[in-house]
Amino acid sequence: MTSEINIGLAQINVIVGGIENNVDRIIEFAKRARDEMNCDLLVCSELVLTGYPPEDLLLRPGFNSRIRQQLARLCGAVKGIDLIVGYPKKTDAGLFNIGALIIDGEIKHEYAKIKLPNYSVFDEMRYFIPGEEACVVDYKGYQLGLTVCEDIWHDGPIEAAVEQGAELIVNINGSPFHANKISERRDVVCARAKATKTPVVYVNQVGGQDELVFDGASFATSGVGEVVHQMASFEEGLSCVKISQGANGVALHGSEMVAESERLKSIYDALVLGVRDYVKKNGFSGVVIGLSGGIDSALTTTIAVDALGADNVDVIMMPFRYTSDISKHDAHAEAEALGIKYHVISIEPMYDAFMQQLAPIFAGTEQDTTEENIQARCRGLTLMAYSNKTGKMVLTTGNKSEMSVGYATLYGDMVGGYNAIKDVPKILVYELAKYRNTISPVIPERVITREPSAELRPDQIDSDSLPPYEILDPILELYVEQDCPPAEIVAKGYEERYVSQVIRMVDRNEYKRRQAAPGVRITKRAFGRDRRYPITSGFRPKVDW
Give the DSSP per-residue string, 481-523.
IS---HHHHHHTT--HHHHHHHHHHHHHTHHHHHTSPPB---S
Encode pLDDT of 80-98 as tens digits. 999 999 999 999 999 999 9
Provide the pLDDT for residue 540: 78
CA distances from 320 to 67, 384, 385, 515 (A): 54, 18, 18, 26
CA–CA dist 149, 389 (Å, integer): 44
Phi-psi sector, 486: left (phi>0), alpha (psi -120 to 50), beta:
alpha
> Among 39, 44, 135, 149, which one carries the catalytic annotation?
149
Radius of gyration in angstroms for the set of CA atoms belonging to the chain, rounded to a whole number: 26
Q: Which of 39, 44, 89, 113 is catalytic?
A: 113
Residues 6+ positions from 90 with CB-CB distance below 8 Å: 64
**pLDDT for 210-254, tens place per residue?**
999 999 999 999 999 999 999 999 999 999 999 998 777 888 888
- For residues 447 and 468, what is the distance between their CA atoms, to the nearest angstrom? 17
Cα 470 from Cα 34, distance rounded (Å) = 54
Helix, strand or coil, per DSSP, at residue 51: coil
Cβ atoms 511, 468 nearer than 8 A: no
Question: What backbone torsions phi and psi does residue 449 show, to the nearest 5 degrees?
Answer: -95, -20
Indicate where the chain has its CATH 3.40.50.620 domain(s): 274-462
Q: In terms of CATH architecture, what is 5-260?
A: 4-Layer Sandwich (3.60)
Report angle CA 407, 412, 417 to the nearest 5 degrees: 100
pLDDT at 146: 97
Residues of the chain with CATH 3.60.110.10: 5-260
pLDDT of residue 30: 97
Which pLDDT score is estimated for 544?
63
The enclosing H or E element of 335 equals: helix 325-338
Given 39, 44, 46, 190, the catalytic residue: 46
Residue 5 in 3-state DSSP?
strand
149 is catalytic: yes
pLDDT (0 to 100) of residue 247: 73
Q: How many CB atoms lie within 10 A of CB 18?
A: 15
Out of 3.40.50.620, 3.40.50.2300, 2.60.200.30, 3.30.70.100, the CATH code matching 274-462 is: 3.40.50.620
**Kind and range of the H or E element at 209?**
strand 206-209
pLDDT under 70 in the chain at which residues?
1, 455, 544-545
| Interacting residues of 531 by C-beta distance below 8 A, sequence separation 6+ | 480, 525
The model's pTM is: 0.94
Strand ranges inside 324-425, DSSP E: 341-344, 393-396, 418-419
Taking alpha carbons only, the member of 173, 195, 246, 256 closest to residue 220 is 256
Contacts of 425 (CB under 8 A, 6+ apart): 399, 400, 401, 469, 473, 476, 477
Peptide linkage before 53 cis (omega within 30 of 0): yes
